[in-house]
Chains A and B, each alone.
Chain A
Amino acid sequence: MDFSQFLSYIASGTVYTVGVTLIALPAGLLIGTILALLYVYGGKVAARVMNLYSTVFRGIPPLVLLFILFFAVTRGVNLSAFWAGSLSLGMVSSAYQMEIVRGALLSVSGDQLMAARAVGLSRLQAIRYVVLPQAVRLAIPPWSNEAAIVIKDSSLVYALGVPEILRRAQLIGASSQRYLLAYLSAAIIYFLLVYATTRLLNHLEQKLSIPSNP
């Protein structure tokens, strides 16, 4: 087997890596944002529940959660390894993303919310038109960090047998006995994915930045 075949075998796992990321990250964002809004604006009881959610999911290794969801929960529901992996990573990420969004909401809220209410906007309108647009901008840098983590954590689904980059590297490494080359190739592909994503989000951050004088 020549090198290009070797590499393309591993690289074809990128579809799964990207697939898992594209499910886990937006799912985590959606859940995380909703939970963060409840945390900040939902009153004391909601805040406690959200705090518990965050503590629990951040306290369990993603791989353990992955196994729980795949082996325990999917007994009843027919969930493929790919989906079980993506969704559990999404849940783990939602706890972290909730904290990111919550921090951003809190640093905008207060005065800006009061000013919006003073103009006559309802609480919901004030959050939607004044707090959220500013919070989103603040959340991009930490979110970019979380995106990188999810891309890297997507490698965990290899443990469920999903043929993503790491799984393929392991297989071809074993069959060819060229472990170092296999894992180095995997490392480079992961790095490129993370690098491209971070650059893209950096660009977005700059594009959305609010003009101001130096």
Chain B
Amino acid sequence: MPKPILTIKNLTKIYGQNVIFQNLNLTVNEGDTVVIIGPSGTGKSTLLRCINLLTRPNEGQIWLDDLEITAKGTDEDQVRQHIGMVFQNFLLFNHLTALGNVKLGLTKVKKMSDEEATKKAMHELSRVGLADRANHYPGQLSGGQQQRVGIARALAMDPRVMLFDEPTSALDPELIGEVLEVMRKLALDGMTMVVVTHEMGFAREVADRIVFMEKGHIVEEGSPDEMFNHPKFDRTREFLWKITELYGKKEKEAE
């Protein structure tokens, strides 16, 4: 029996007059990689931001394990420790080295000693293959390296679930591979992940479930095989065909 880590019920987010999404339901089970795809402006990023409470939903509930994190009086800082987030534009702390970036949460939030934090941070940096870049500042790293530091920074907090918001969209094609490789390894290690991406190769190969979102609704969700080979809706087929064509070409060029 799969154990749900993340349960989203009837989630609605409205900005002013703009309904971003309405009555959204989604469950993410332990160890699963759920890939969310869909055209831009569909509310995928907003959904991720709602999950780690960077944005408050207007209605609906989210549970992390058995805790309803959307309940009033929830300690947001406490919740966010358990939800790792990787951003499209990396958002590393520019004034800190790679090591400093990974350590900050450990020393300030988890209150680890400097020595402990360094040890843990170095471990996470090696996991993403960047132990030798520990003392480099973000400005001295390539985009791919910066994003891997971003992943290490989130991993260091030992999160229950990792959220990826288009982690490779801001990268040059030749740098995408190294980031996807790290994510692939994470998925294999059993990390629970929710990934918003256009990388169909990654979705096909790594996802346990693909969710197709459009205009604030989940149109269809299923295994990669179901989604790519037997989609129930024409719209799913159309979108997947387009995006695979577009990004598949880019991938081949990159090789």
Residue positions of A touching B, CB distance < 8 A: 111-112, 114-122, 125, 129-130, 133-134, 137, 210-213
B81 interface contact, C-beta 8 A: yes
Q: Is the CB of B95 within 8 A of A119?
A: no
Q: Is the CB of B105 within 8 A of A212?
A: no
Q: Is the CB of A125 within 8 A of B108?
A: yes
Q: Is the CB of B153 within 8 A of A119?
A: yes
Counting chain A CB atoms within 10 Å of each CB, which of B89, B104, B140 scores highest?
A: B104
Q: Is the CB of A117 within 8 A of B80?
A: yes
Chain B contact residues (Cβ within 8 angstroms of A): what range?
20 to 34
Q: Shortest CB–CB separation between residue B244 and chain A, in angstroms?
A: 31
Q: Shortest CB–CB separation between residue B240 and chain A, in angstroms?
A: 30
Q: Shortest CB–CB separation between residue B118 and chain A, in angstroms?
A: 17
Q: B77: which A residues are within 8 A, CB to CB? A: 117, 120-122
Q: A129: which B residues are within 8 A, CB to CB? A: 104, 108
Q: B84: which A residues are within 8 A, CB to CB? A: 118
Q: A211: which B residues are within 8 A, CB to CB? A: 137, 139-140
Distance in angstroms between the alpha carbons of A87 and B78 in the assembled complex: 44
Q: B227: which A residues are within 8 A, CB to CB? A: none
The 10 sampled A-B contact pairs (Cβ below 8 Å) are A115-B93, A118-B83, A118-B84, A119-B105, A120-B78, A122-B77, A133-B95, A211-B137, A211-B140, A212-B137
Q: Shortest CB–CB separation between residue A106 and chain B, in angstroms?
A: 16
B94 interface contact, C-beta 8 A: yes
B219 interface contact, C-beta 8 A: no
Distance in angstroms between the alpha carbons of A43 and B208 in the assembled complex: 44
Q: Is the CB of B139 within 8 A of A115?
A: no
Q: B140: which A residues are within 8 A, CB to CB? A: 211-213
- CB-CB contacts below 8 Å: B87-111 with A: 87, 89, 91-95, 104-105, 108-109
Distance in angstroms between the alpha carbons of A116 and B76 in the assembled complex: 13
B54 interface contact, C-beta 8 A: yes
Distance in angstroms between the alpha carbons of A212 and B80 in the assembled complex: 30
Counting chain B CB atoms within 10 Å of each CB, which of A115, A117, A210, A213 scores highest?
A: A115
Q: A213: which B residues are within 8 A, CB to CB? A: 139-140
Distance in angstroms between the alpha carbons of A116 and B108 in the assembled complex: 11
The 6 closest A-B pairs by CB, nearest first: A212-B139, A120-B81, A115-B91, A119-B105, A118-B85, A120-B109
Q: Is the CB of B108 within 8 A of A115?
A: no
Given contacts A119-B80, A119-B154, contact A210 B139 (CB under 8 A): yes
Q: Shortest CB–CB separation between residue A189 and chain B, in angstroms?
A: 37
B179 interface contact, C-beta 8 A: no
B157 interface contact, C-beta 8 A: yes
Q: Shortest CB–CB separation between residue B167 and chain A, in angstroms?
A: 13
Q: Is the CB of B93 within 8 A of A210?
A: no
Distance in angstroms between the alpha carbons of A78 and B47 in the assembled complex: 62
B29 interface contact, C-beta 8 A: no
Distance in angstroms between the alpha carbons of A125 and B93 in the assembled complex: 13
Q: Shortest CB–CB separation between residue B84 and chain A, in angstroms?
A: 8
Q: B168: which A residues are within 8 A, CB to CB? A: none
Distance in angstroms between the alpha carbons of A111 and B88 in the assembled complex: 11
Partner of A121, one of B87, B95, B109, B154: B109
Distance in angstroms between the alpha carbons of A144 and B95 in the assembled complex: 21
Q: List 11 additional contacts besides A112-B93, A117-B54, A130-B93; criterion CB under 8 Å.
A: A114-B91, A115-B91, A115-B93, A116-B104, A118-B52, A118-B80, A122-B77, A212-B137, A212-B138, A213-B139, A213-B140
